[in-house]
Amino acid sequence: MNGTPHIEVRDLTMAYGDFVVQRGLDFVVNKGDIFVVMGGNGCGKTTLMRALVGLQRPAAGSVLYSGKDFWNAAAETQRQLKRRLGILFQGGALWSSLTLAENVALPIAEYTGLPPARVNEIVDFKLALVGLAGFEDFYPSELSGGMKKRAGLARAMALDPDILVIDEPSSGLDPLTARRLDELIMELRDSLGTTIVVVTHELASILSIGNNSIYLDSESHTMIATGHPQDALKNGPPEVRRFLSRGATT
Amino acid sequence: MRSEAAWQLDLRPADDPETLIIALARRWRIDQDLPAADTLNDRLDVPVRHVRFDASALTDWDSGLLTFVSGISKRCADRGIAVDSSGLPPGAQRLLAMAAAVPEQKLAGRDKGPQGPFAQVGTATLEFFRGAPQMLGFLGEVTLSLLRLVSGRARFRARDLWLEIEEVGPRALPIVSVISFLVGLILAYLGADQLRLVGAQIFIADLVAIGMVREIAALMTGVIIAGRTGAAFAAQLGTMQVNEEIDAYQTLGISAIDFLVLPRMLALMLMVPLLTLYSAFIGMLAGLLVSLTIFDTGVFEYYTETLRALTFQQFGVGLSKGMVYGAIIAFAGCLRGMQCGRSAEAVGHAATSAVVTAMLLITIAASIMTIVYYQLGI
Ligand SMILES: Nc1ncnc2c1ncn2[C@@H]1O[C@H](COP(=O)(O)OP(=O)(O)O)[C@@H](O)[C@H]1O
Ligand SMILES: [Mg+2]
């Protein structure tokens, strides 16, 4: 199951107007990977995520899902590809006028014709998985930041996506909850075979759950390391080793 | 129903009658037409005391299976039936265990669910009366802020004031022009019909000039600016409220009223009177046009008649109304923005409510001022 290329990124350049955020990104995410995107603040991790999931057209290069070029595909193909993605935004991006249950139910109702009783079962289960059982009727404004994050994850997982793209899941979470979330991510990969692309700064997470990674450098505006995070820590360029050891190495 | 779906569900009694074995076979994935856990309700009853799962023939699963099993487990827990999930795939067991982990404490003191119609009327009434003191409180804060400004102790950025002035003034000119012109036209035609009866066509000039300058220019400008700028103020401050920006000012000891409300208030109190003057001028132009085309009045005649009708007092009345309306619009917009809740919906509601409040207050103020000026003989 592992080892087949799932997402291929070819010579990707992302820019806002004339400002090039990152250029020449080349990497492959295999099925069943937990792929970590690393880099300092503002290096372009969120921008990369937006290019991957079809929110922001890259200035150049391509993103291929199982060999299909996303940005040059027909609208219907794009929609089908998007159905396979689950996305957790950096700020949670919950719909503020819907309750948590409705937030999780919306993608299910949108993409499947399941009867309400089953939709409710799925919603209850997904909220329970992220530790939010009993909060079904709460509105996002009634939750803490960390709870919003987890509710966002429940929504992203609603349809059992093949690929889960997560932007900074553990920012705003206490260490124990963050660890539980890591365990959940690993379990999703191990049990359901979900491929996970995760943007994170959490060193413990990077080193314990990641099995592949890239490091985006904000000086040179390109990737300067790729591969297993443990390897990057041992043999990567000095910036990456510093990043992965909180500046402790020389 | 089960054509594409290859799921299979069998219930087998075990050797002892108290145990039910639920056998899940073949494919159980979320996109299939899987059964709801409810379908087993009447099987999970006496004499069953234990439930076991058998997944030996399961080929493919995802949370479709998990939601079903977790639904069964929940029902069993309610009925005091013991569940043994060791027959499920290990990954499924781990995920189910995660979902069953103790949920966190619920928030205390949360709003109740939806209310009945009577309760809604009651709540709305209470809220209306609760709204009045809030409005007065805000009025007090704004007044204090204005006093601080006069004594030179209010702090805001001059750039904000200029931005608002630009937004309210020059950018509003096109819409004010169109509407004032048309209203002037309507007024002239309305008067023309009546005045022709008594052969006093030339008094169209008086009617349009006095009508526009004293009342209509200010009212029209007020309505336009309430819809255009009042709503924008509420949306801006409301969004700041959502982003906790206003809280951030407060924690720094910066008065959000001084910093955000004051520049908007000043901008409108300055610009609405000016727009009122402009609007009156455009309206009179329209009156002139009507008078020229249907009565052949001379331009000079119309001009002198207009000058004769207008006094500084008339302008004073119009300008004072413009200033009051401007203050009302800024007040209503900022009030609703500051009261905004923390959701996208609340921002929309704040904008709507700002316009409604402004219109209501403008109409009340217009009536009061008209009566007072009449009594004073101005
Ligand atoms: N909408 C935008 N317009 C212009 N520049 C942007 C925009 N969003 C982000 N940027 C810039 O792009 C860079 C990368 O941003 P982002 O991808 O959000 O970084 P991060 O790695 O912290 O997620 C930053 O320098 C940021 O200033
Ligand atoms: Mg980011």
pLDDT tens digits for A83-111?
888 999 888 888 887 899 999 998 888 88
Q: Does residue B326 sit within a domain?
A: yes
B61 shares its domain with B147: no
Please list the residues that pair with B24 across neighbouring strands. Answer: B9
Give nearest CA residue, ligand 1 atom 14: A44
Inter-axis angle of helices A145-156 and A175-192, to 10 degrees?
Answer: 0
Structure tokens at A58: 């890259």
Residue B115 pLDDT > 90: no
Q: What's the rounded Cα separation, in Å, for the pair B296 and A214?
A: 82
Please give the share of chain A, as a percent, with pLDDT higher than 90: 43
Peptide bond into B47 cis (omega under 30): yes
Residues of B in contact with A101 (CB under 8 A): none
Q: Grade residue A232 by pLDDT with cuts at 50, 70 and 90.
A: confident
CATH number at residue B20: 3.30.750.24
Mean pLDDT of chain A: 88
Q: Would you say residue B104 has pLDDT above 80?
A: no
Asked whether residue B95 carries a pLDDT value surpassing 50, the answer given is yes
How confident is the model at residue A4, as a pLDDT?
64
Q: Kindly state whether residues B174 and B91 are assigned to the same domain.
A: no
Range of the domain at B38: 7-101
Residue B109: pLDDT above 60?
no
- Choose among A85, A86, A15, A71: nearest CA to A48: A15
Residue B124 lies in a domain: no
B75 contacts chain A (CB < 8 A):
no
Residue linked to tokens 């904008």: B351
Please tell me whether residues B327 and B237 are part of one structural domain.
yes
Q: Do A70 and A81 contact (CB within 8 A), yes or no?
A: yes
Q: Indicate whether A249 pLDDT > 60.
A: no
Asked if A141 is an interface residue toward chain B (Cβ–Cβ < 8 A), one would say yes
> Domain boundary residue among B84, B101, B118?
B101
Segment B172-178 shows an average pLDDT of 94
Give B32's pLDDT tier (boundaries 50, 70, 90).
Answer: confident
> Which domains, ranges and CATH numbers included, belong to chain A?
1-84+161-250 (3.40.50.300), 91-159 (no CATH)
Quick one: pLDDT at residue A1?
A: 43
Q: Do B33 and B166 lie in a common domain? A: no
- What's the pLDDT at B263? 93
Same domain, B95 and B151: no
Total count of domains within chain B: 2
Residue B33 has pLDDT above 60, yes or no: yes
The mean pLDDT value for B333-345 works out to 90
pLDDT at res. A199: 92
- Output the pTM of the full model: 0.73
Ligand 1 atom nearest the C-alpha of A43 is 21
Report yes or no on B118 lying in a domain. Answer: no
Between the CA of B272 and the centroid of ligand 2 the distance, in Å, is 43
Bridging pattern class, strands A222-226 and A212-217: antiparallel
Mean residue pLDDT of chain B comes to 88
Residue B130 lies in a domain: no
Contact across the interface for A190 and B91, Cβ inside 8 Å: yes
pLDDT for B54:
92
Same domain, B234 and B350: yes
For A143, the token pair is 């939750």
Q: Please check whether residues B170 and B51 belong to one and the same domain.
A: no
Residues B196 and B332 in one domain: yes
Of A114, A138, A160, Cβ closest to residue B63: A160
CB A203 within 8 A of CB A241: no
Judged by CB atoms within 8 Å, which residues 20-59 of A form the interface with B?
none
- Nearest to A126, CA basis, from A93, A89, A83, A157: A157
Question: Which residue from B102, B111, B100, B360 is spatially nearest to B222, judged by alpha carbons?
Answer: B360
Would you tell me which residues 80-109 of chain A have a C-beta closer than 8 angstroms to some C-beta of chain B? 95-97
pLDDT at B112: 57
Bridge-based pairing state of the strands A68-69 and A195-199? unpaired
pLDDT exceeds 60 at position B94: yes
Same domain as B89, residue B159: no
For A149-198, what is each residue's pLDDT tens digit? Answer: 889 999 999 989 999 999 988 877 888 888 888 888 998 999 888 999 99
Encoding tokens for residue B73? 């487990």
ipTM for the predicted complex? 0.79
**Domain annotation covers residue B117:** no
